[in-house]
Amino acid sequence: MTRIDLFPLARPVMSLLDPEAAHRLTLRALRMGLGPRAREADPVSLAIDVLGFHFENPLGIAAGFDKNGEVPDAMLAMGMGFAEVGTVTPRPQAGNPRPRIFRLPVHRAVINRLGFNNEGHAALKKRLEARRKKPGIVGVNIGANKDAADRIADYEAGIRVFEGLASYFTVNISSPNTPGLRGLQNRAELETLIARVLAARKTRTPVLLKIAPDLGEDELADIAEVALAQGLDGLIVSNTTIARGDLVSGVHAQETGGLSGTPLFEMSTAVLAGIYRLTKGRLPLVGVGGISNGRDAYLKIRAGASLLQLYSALTYEGPGLIARIKRELAAHLAEDGFAHLKDAVGADVKL
Report, as residue numbers or ranges, the catalytic residues. Answer: 175
Residues in Cβ contact with 93 at an 8 Å cutoff, skipping those fewer than 6 apart: 115, 116, 117, 118, 120, 145, 146
Residues in Cβ contact with 105 at an 8 Å cutoff, skipping those fewer than 6 apart: 15, 250, 316
CA 22 to chain centre: 20
The amino acid sitting at 39 is: R
CA 201 to chain centre: 22
Closest CA to 106 of 325, 316, 309: 316
